[in-house]
């Protein structure tokens, strides 16, 4: 049976839906965009109109500037776009992060109308997270899933267990009178840590200038976190020994760090699961805390959606695709510009406005690249 | 084992040397000598020989993990370490309850595996994997594969033991050298107050020179004027050629000869002519020097020495083709007395007298085998610079500069000994292939193959693993992922676009390489983003650098 034109295709602009006249998470100029979440590799100021989940709007406004036309959408609210119906569902990745469900009404063989449903996960995780809406399972025919951590070694411990490790490290630094500088993505990871740590203490945490305003937005959205203080660059008298400081990875190794002599450094990321990654980045401690699905989470979710076709985004998903094919699922890799590297996405945030750059050479390739 | 595993974690989790030393001191204070001996053994980089082959480990892992074999392979390729892959796939979080000490683990569990058949080994080893915490599973498997590496240098380890035992670090370093068994007695002797009789074979820690470019106030080591102002009068310095061979120590004590490489291997049987020539040296002397391929006509290219390296025994033909000599630089011990603190010029005089007296007792050929490195004499730095410029013709790497009043130090010395090397050859080459690295470079494309033009095709001619900083490696890694043309297992061919300036030490003809040449120690000098592939060098450009006089000497 010949396959009809795909409902969603990876083009040189983003994940485009011709039938609906919109593009999901575009990286080049388009008219209408649907944005899954506010991370820089997914949200760029390139659309005339941008739709996103309500709780994502303040974050998008903060990151993309006040002039962008943003339209908030309720969870599950059906929206008509061209020949499609679209809805947003929580992805559990960061505050306001959404999976986007797209349904096309098609004529069936006997004249009746049967729906074809696609879901794009954006970034997602299944683990409980006190700083964002929990993941909602949405069944579909074609499932476009992120596959950032698509190898069996990536298995996460519960957030509270990792938070305990972070807290113990902080307390150890307190006894050795050293600052504890924790690096993590300034949107999402930082607030999750602050929300997880509420179980252990009510001591204030110092925040890097890139983290502080986003944390305030989380607070306004009603997320309960440790009290926080911005780092006052002008005030040289603050004694940071024994304090926890949260900063984006880009601040590591910069002159900003001079404020914290003899600091112990930690990094929060799923990549910290592998020792080589830990060693290479040169942090003292690696905390395995990720806002992406782990390997069991990916496999479980793919199965539960009931999808007969699975497309993957984010980097090294060749193994996952091969495994799914061996299990009889129609699977392929999609070439997109979504990053598998938290720190890259974070650094990109700073110049996101200017980042309507030329597509990488791989964009010259056919829309859908299937790796052998 | 729990204590050792904790120590390993702590060492692995900090980049501070003080914290590392403190962690080791904590461990040694509480450790039983039997465990401490094994800890010293592993921390000093010694290994027990691999007990189980890696293909068996993979097979067992595949069976236990219930994953397809290819997926285990993919995972291993991404993680870059078999023991870690096993620990990540098979263990759950939490501490193990197991109480065996490090020594019990090694002596009663690991070592007895040797000689068992594969089925028996499988039953035992997979049983361990199932019951361990991640940390212990990782360490046990690392020990099993003979590949446990800990991020501490010999000097840091010695500092920690010295602090524990309240002894000078130098004596610990000395006691750690040479061959020893990890026994409680060894450990007791290591921390014992009274050294007593030093072990017969034991060499001294090597004294190493720092590159002259690192000298304070020096921008370019090519500028004789600058060298003069940085180093003062040339008469305060002893200049020698910087030879390119195998740095060694020749230990002669109680009628026995021990030839040590810098990697602390005994290499006397590999260079029997040197061992024989040393037989008439007086007792109680230790010479520092270099093993070099050298026949009646003089020094041979390094490629010739490579034919001798790695051979445990040497045949008559090879011995004739590539005779080797010991070129002495320094005298560290004489009449059984450690003279490393005596000034360089005095040690040098003693060395010359000793080797001359020794030579007089030997047949001419044998005398030739043990010789003293010639001093390069010049009145000013400009003349030395001119001599240095001729290094390549002499098949040396440049000059060594040692302060005439310097002691023989431990480790790398700044200010007292400098190596004044000539600029390496450089070539602009195009990246052809990339492969992920191992260990801390796993998951990241860090091993590259480069090509130069031969007509209108690019022929691979060198592989390089180092030279870029972490930021460049990350950026290049992303470029490679986006510009992969084909995958051959772990290797990817990439779009022909990136040009790099490569440096290397030497170049020789080779029949083993497609390009017909083999380069020594290639590394990346810089990423030439300003160059297009058309600017890369040609194979003929590279061949012009060959310095073996065109006699067709072959590295293979």
Domains observed in chain B? 2-144 (1.10.3260.10), 207-421 (3.30.470.30), 425-543 (2.40.50.140)
What whole-number distance in Å separates Cα of residue A329 and Cα of residue B288?
A: 67
Give the helix/strand (H/E) hosting B290.
strand B285-295
Chain-centre distance of CA B377, in angstroms?
Answer: 31
* Best CA proximity match to B239, nearest among B348, B77, B83, B90: B348
What pLDDT was estimated at residue B525?
A: 86
Contacts 24+ apart (CB under 8 A), B194-202: B195/B171, B198/B174, B199/B175, B200/B253, B200/B254, B200/B256, B200/B258, B201/B251, B201/B253, B201/B256, B201/B258, B201/B260, B201/B266, B202/B174, B202/B175, B202/B177, B202/B178, B202/B251
Test B81 with A276 for CB contact under 8 angstroms. Answer: yes
Of B74, B443, B482, the CB nearest to A361: B482
Test B68 with A284 for CB contact under 8 angstroms. Answer: no
Share of chain A above pLDDT 90, in %: 72
- Collapsing DSSP to helix, strand or coil, A207 comes out as strand
Test A280 with B84 for CB contact under 8 angstroms. Answer: no
Instruction: Compute the nearest-CA separation of B75 from chain A (Å).
Output: 6
pLDDT beyond 80 at A364 = no
Task: Establish if B468 touches chain A: CB-CB under 8 angstroms.
Answer: no
Q: What is the CA radius of gyration of chain A?
A: 21
Share of chain A above pLDDT 70, in %: 87
Strands A98-107 and A113-120: antiparallel
- The residues of chain B scoring below 70 in pLDDT are 93-97, 170, 178, 194-199, 263-265, 310, 312, 365-367, 439-442, 489, 547-556
Test B74 with A151 for CB contact under 8 angstroms. Answer: yes
Give Cβ neighbours of residue A218 (< 8 Å, ≥ 6 apart). A95, A131, A191, A225
Buried b (16+ CB within 10 A) or exposed e, A131-166: bbbebbebebbbbbbbbbbbbbbbbbbebeebbbeb
Whether the CB-CB separation of A45 and A24 falls below 8 Å is answered with no
What pLDDT was estimated at residue A108?
A: 62
**How many other C-beta atoms can be found within 10 angstroms of the C-beta atom of residue A5?**
7
Burial-class residue B383 by CB neighbours within 10 Å (0-12, 13-18, 19+): middle
* A283 secondary structure, DSSP code: -
B438 vs A367, more confident: B438
pLDDT tens-place string over residues A243-287: 999 999 988 878 888 889 889 999 999 999 998 888 777 788 999
Test B481 with A285 for CB contact under 8 angstroms. Answer: no
Phi/psi of residue B488, nearest 5 degrees: -120, 90
Domains observed in chain A? 9-154+291-364 (3.60.15.10), 159-287 (3.40.50.10890)
What pLDDT was estimated at residue A370?
A: 32
Of B15, B88, B482, the CB nearest to A360: B482
What whole-number distance in Å separates Cα of residue A286 and Cα of residue B541?
A: 47
Which residue of A173, A176, A265, A275 is the best one to mutate when testing the B interface, meaning the one whose CB has the most B CBs within 10 A?
A: A275
Test A316 with B78 for CB contact under 8 angstroms. Answer: yes
> Which residues of chain B neighbour A152 with C-beta distances below 8 Å?
65, 67, 71, 75, 89
**Residue of chain B whose Cα is closest to the Cα of A363:** B482
What does the DSSP assignment read for A7-59?
SSEE-SSSEEETTTTEEES-SS-EEEEE-S-SSTTT--S-EEEEEEEGGGHHH
What whole-number distance in Å separates Cα of residue A124 and Cα of residue A127?
A: 9
Read off the tokens for B429.
Answer: 């080459």
- Of A176-190, A330-344, B374-388, the one with minimum mean pLDDT is A330-344
Phi/psi of residue A194, nearest 5 degrees: -65, -35
Inter-axis angle of helices B154-165 and B17-30, nearest 10:
50
What does the DSSP assignment read for B480-495?
HHHTEEEEETTEEEE-
**Residue of chain B whose Cα is closest to the Cα of A343:** B474
Give Cβ neighbours of residue B342 (< 8 Å, ≥ 6 apart). B407
**How many other C-beta atoms can be found within 10 angstroms of the C-beta atom of residue B363?**
9
pLDDT beyond 70 at A205 = yes
pLDDT beyond 90 at A4 = no
Test A322 with B70 for CB contact under 8 angstroms. Answer: yes
Task: Establish if A189 touches chain B: CB-CB under 8 angstroms.
Answer: no
Give the helix/strand (H/E) hosting A219.
helix A212-220
**Residue of chain A whose Cα is closest to the Cα of B18:** A262
C-alpha to C-alpha distances, A350 to A170, A252, A336, A354, B231, nearest whole angstrom: 28, 15, 21, 9, 48
What does the DSSP assignment read for B210-227?
EEGGGSTT-S-TT-HHHH
What pLDDT was estimated at residue B236?
A: 94
Whether the CB-CB separation of B154 and B173 falls below 8 Å is answered with yes
What's chain B's length in residues? Answer: 556
Read off the tokens for B414.
Answer: 């700044």
Read off the tokens for A293.
Answer: 């699905």
Any idea which residue has 């610079």 for tokens? B385
Test B75 with A319 for CB contact under 8 angstroms. Answer: yes
What whole-number distance in Å separates Cα of residue B554 and Cα of residue B414?
A: 37
**How many other C-beta atoms can be found within 10 angstroms of the C-beta atom of residue A308?**
12
Read off the tokens for A41.
Answer: 């590799």
Residue B291's beta-bridge partner residues? B246, B326
End-to-end CA distance of chain A: 23
**How many other C-beta atoms can be found within 10 angstroms of the C-beta atom of residue A33?**
25
pLDDT beyond 60 at A348 = no
- What is the average per-residue pLDDT within A8-16? 93
Of A274, A322, A326, the CB nearest to B443: A274
pLDDT beyond 60 at A334 = yes
Task: Establish if A327 touches chain B: CB-CB under 8 angstroms.
Answer: no
pLDDT beyond 70 at A40 = yes
What pLDDT was estimated at residue A343?
A: 40
Burial-class residue B313 by CB neighbours within 10 Å (0-12, 13-18, 19+): exposed
Strands B425-436 and B445-454: antiparallel
pLDDT beyond 70 at A48 = yes
Q: Which of residues 513-542 of B touch A (CB under 8 A)?
A: none
What pLDDT was estimated at residue B553?
A: 38
End-to-end CA distance of chain B: 46
> Which residues of chain B neighbour A318 with C-beta distances below 8 Å?
74
* B353 secondary structure, DSSP code: H
Instruction: Compute the nearest-CA separation of A39 from chain B (Å).
Output: 19
What pLDDT was estimated at residue A366?
A: 32
Task: Establish if B69 touches chain A: CB-CB under 8 angstroms.
Answer: no
Q: Which of residues 228-287 of A touch B (CB under 8 A)?
A: 264, 271, 273-277, 279-280, 282, 284-285
* Best CA proximity match to B334, nearest among B517, B241, B204, B454: B204
With cut-offs at 50, 70 and 90, classify the pLDDT of residue A362. very low
Any idea which residue has 């004489």 for tokens? B334
Structure-derived torsion over alpha carbons of residues B417, B423, B424, B430, reported in degrees to the nearest 10 = 130
Whether the CB-CB separation of A343 and A250 falls below 8 Å is answered with yes
Instruction: Compute the nearest-CA separation of B92 from chain A (Å).
Output: 9
What pLDDT was estimated at residue A341?
A: 55
What whole-number distance in Å separates Cα of residue A251 and Cα of residue A209?
A: 10
Of A157, A280, A284, the CB nearest to B93: A157
Convert A79-106 into a string of H (helix), E (strand) and C (coil): EEECCEEEEEEECCCCCCCEEEEEEEEE
What whole-number distance in Å separates Cα of residue B500 and Cα of residue A4?
A: 46
What whole-number distance in Å separates Cα of residue B246 and Cα of residue B311?
A: 14
The rounded mean pLDDT for chain A is 87
Read off the tokens for B547.
Answer: 């310095």
Whether the CB-CB separation of B72 and B63 falls below 8 Å is answered with no
What pLDDT was estimated at residue B490?
A: 75
Instruction: Compute the nearest-CA separation of A27 from chain B (Å).
Output: 16
Of A273, A319, A371, the CB nearest to B88: A273
What whole-number distance in Å separates Cα of residue A291 and Cα of residue B330?
A: 60
Burial-class residue A329 by CB neighbours within 10 Å (0-12, 13-18, 19+): middle
- Of A149-163, A338-352, B150-164, B261-275, the one with minimum mean pLDDT is A338-352
What does the DSSP assignment read for A284-341?
SEEE---SS--HHHHHHHHHHHT-SEEEEESS--HHHHHHHHHTT-EEEE------S-
Instruction: Compute the nearest-CA separation of B332 from chain A (Å).
Output: 38
What pLDDT was estimated at residue A356?
A: 27
Which residue of B9, B88, B480 is the best one to mutate when testing the A interface, meaning the one whose CB has the most A CBs within 10 A?
A: B88
CA angle B463–B469–B473, rounded 5-degree value: 65
What pLDDT was estimated at residue B410?
A: 83
Of B16, B80, B483, the CB nearest to A361: B483
Q: Which of residues 329-358 of A touch B (CB under 8 A)?
A: 344
> Which residues of chain B neighbour A284 with C-beta distances below 8 Å?
13-16
What pLDDT was estimated at residue A328?
A: 92
**How many other C-beta atoms can be found within 10 angstroms of the C-beta atom of residue A249?**
23
> Which residues of chain A neighbour B440 with C-beta distances below 8 Å?
275-276, 279-280
Test B71 with A285 for CB contact under 8 angstroms. Answer: no
Which residue of A278, A284, A319 is the best one to mutate when testing the B interface, meaning the one whose CB has the most B CBs within 10 A?
A: A319
With cut-offs at 50, 70 and 90, classify the pLDDT of residue A301. very high
Task: Establish if B330 touches chain A: CB-CB under 8 angstroms.
Answer: no
Test B78 with A274 for CB contact under 8 angstroms. Answer: yes
Whether the CB-CB separation of B271 and B278 falls below 8 Å is answered with no
What pLDDT was estimated at residue B349?
A: 96
Test B15 with A282 for CB contact under 8 angstroms. Answer: yes
- Of A80-84, A308-312, A350-354, B387-391, the one with minimum mean pLDDT is A350-354
- Model-level ipTM above the cut of 0.95: no
Convert B64-78 into a string of H (helix), E (strand) and C (coil): HHCCCHHHHHHHHHH
Task: Establish if A161 touches chain B: CB-CB under 8 angstroms.
Answer: yes
What does the DSSP assignment read for A226-240?
--EEE--TT------
CA angle A165–A166–A171, rounded 5-degree value: 95
> Which residues of chain A neighbour B443 with C-beta distances below 8 Å?
271, 274, 276-277
Task: Establish if A372 touches chain B: CB-CB under 8 angstroms.
Answer: yes
What whole-number distance in Å separates Cα of residue B331 and Cα of residue B288?
A: 6
Of A157, A276, A285, the CB nearest to B440: A276
């Amino acid at each position: 049976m010949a396959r009809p034109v795909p409902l969603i295709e990876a083009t040189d602009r983003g994940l485009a839906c011709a039938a609906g006249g919109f593009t999901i998470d575009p990286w080049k100029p388009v008219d209408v965009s649907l944005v899954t979440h506010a991370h820089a590799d997914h949200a760029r100021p390139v659309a005339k109109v941008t739709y996103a989940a309500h709780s994502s709007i303040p974050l998008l406004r903060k990151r993309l500037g006040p002039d962008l036309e943003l339209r908030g959408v309720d969870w599950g609210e059906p929206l008509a776009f061209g020949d499609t119906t679209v809805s947003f569902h929580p992805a559990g990745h960061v505050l306001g992060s959404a999976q986007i469900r797209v349904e096309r009404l098609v004529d069936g063989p006997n004249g009746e109308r049967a729906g074809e449903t696609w879901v794009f996960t954006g970034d997602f995780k299944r683990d409980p997270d006190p700083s964002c809406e929990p993941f909602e399972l949405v069944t579909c025919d074609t499932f476009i899933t992120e596959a950032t951590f698509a190898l069996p070694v990536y298995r996460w411990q519960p957030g509270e267990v990792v938070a305990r490790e972070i807290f113990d490290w902080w307390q150890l630094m307190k006894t050795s009178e050293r600052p504890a500088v924790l690096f993590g993505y300034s949107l999402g990871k930082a607030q999750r840590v602050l929300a997880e740590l509420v179980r252990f203490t009510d001591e204030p945490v110092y925040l890097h200038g890139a983290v502080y305003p986003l944390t305030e937005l989380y607070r306004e959205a009603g997320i309960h976190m440790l009290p926080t203080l911005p780092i006052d660059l002008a005030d040289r008298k603050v004694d940071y020994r024994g304090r926890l400081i949260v900063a984006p990875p880009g601040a590591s190794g910069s002159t900003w760090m001079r404020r914290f002599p003899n600091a112990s450094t930690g990094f929060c990321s799923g990549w910290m699961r592998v020792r080589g990654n830990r060693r290479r980045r040169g942090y003292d401690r690696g905390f395995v805390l990720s806002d992406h699905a782990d390997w069991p989470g990916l496999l479980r979710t793919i199965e539960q959606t009931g999808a007969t076709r699975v497309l993957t985004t984010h980097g090294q998903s060749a193994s996952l695709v091969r495994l799914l094919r061996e299990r009889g699922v129609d699977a392929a890799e999609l070439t997109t510009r979504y990053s598998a590297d938290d720190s890259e996405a974070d650094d990109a945030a700073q110049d996101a406005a200017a980042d309507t750059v030329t597509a990488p050479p791989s964009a010259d390739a056919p829309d859908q690249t299937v790796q052998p | 084992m729990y204590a050792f595993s904790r120590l390993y974690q702590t060492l692995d989790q900090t980049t501070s040397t003080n914290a590392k030393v403190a962690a080791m001191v904590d461990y040694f204070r509480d450790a039983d000598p039997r465990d401490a001996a094994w800890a010293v053994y592993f921390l000093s980089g010694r290994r027990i020989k691999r007990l189980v082959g890696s293909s068996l480990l993979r097979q067992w892992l595949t069976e236990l993990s219930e994953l397809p074999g290819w997926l285990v392979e993919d995972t291993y390729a991404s993680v870059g370490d078999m023991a870690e892959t096993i620990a990540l796939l098979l263990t759950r979080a939490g501490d193990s309850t197991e109480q065996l000490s490090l020594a019990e683990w090694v002596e009663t569990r690991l070592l007895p595996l040797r000689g068992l058949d594969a089925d028996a080994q499988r039953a035992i080893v997979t049983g361990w994997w199932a019951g361990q915490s991640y940390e212990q599973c990782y360490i046990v498997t690392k020990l099993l594969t003979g590949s446990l590496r800990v991020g501490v240098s010999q000097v840091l380890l010695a500092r920690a033991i010295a602090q524990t035992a309240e002894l000078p670090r130098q004596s610990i370093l000395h006691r750690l050298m040479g061959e020893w068994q990890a026994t409680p007695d060894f450990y007791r002797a290591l921390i014992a107050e009274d050294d007593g009789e030093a072990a017969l074979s034991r060499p001294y820690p090597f004294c190493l020179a720092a590159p002259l470019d690192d000298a304070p106030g020096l921008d370019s080591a090519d500028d004789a004027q600058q060298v003069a102002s940085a180093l003062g009068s040339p008469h305060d310095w002893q200049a020698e050629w910087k030879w390119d061979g195998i740095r060694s120590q020749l230990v002669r004590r109680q009628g026995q000869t021990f030839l040590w490489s810098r990697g602390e291997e005994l290499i006397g049987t590999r260079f029997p002519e040197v061992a024989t020539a040393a037989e008439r040296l007086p007792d109680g002397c230790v010479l520092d020097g270099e093993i070099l391929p050298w026949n009646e006509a003089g020094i041979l290219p390094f490629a010739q020495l490579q034919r001798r390296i790695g051979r445990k025994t040497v045949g008559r033909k090879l011995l004739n083709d590539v005779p080797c000599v010991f070129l002495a630089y320094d005298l560290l011990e004489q009449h059984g007395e450690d003279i490393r603190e005596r000034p360089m010029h005095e040690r040098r005089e003693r060395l010359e007298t000793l080797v001359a007296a020794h030579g007089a007792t030997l047949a001419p050929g044998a005398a030739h085998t043990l010789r003293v490195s010639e001093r390069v004499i010049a009145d000013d730095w400009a003349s030395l610079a001119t001599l240095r410029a001729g290094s390549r013709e002499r098949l040396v790497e440049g000059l060594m500069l040692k302060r005439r009043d310097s002691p023989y130090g431990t480790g790398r010395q700044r200010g007292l000994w400098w190596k004044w090397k000539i600029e390496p050859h450089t070539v602009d080459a195009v990246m052809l292939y990339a492969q992920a690295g191992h260990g801390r470079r796993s998951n990241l494309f860090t091993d590259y193959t480069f090509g130069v033009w031969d007509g209108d095709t690019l022929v691979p001619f060198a592989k390089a693993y180092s030279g870029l900083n972490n930021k460049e490696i990350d950026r290049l890694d992303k470029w490679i992922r986006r510009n992969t043309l084909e995958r051959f297992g772990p290797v990817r061919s990439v779009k022909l676009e990136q040009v790099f300036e490569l440096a290397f030490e030497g170049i020789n003809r080779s029949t083993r390489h497609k390009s017909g040449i083999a380069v020594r120690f290639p590394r990346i000098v810089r990423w030439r983003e300003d160059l297009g592939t058309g600017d890369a060098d040609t194979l003929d450009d590279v061949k012009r650098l060959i310095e073996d006089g065109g006699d067709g000497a072959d590295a293979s």
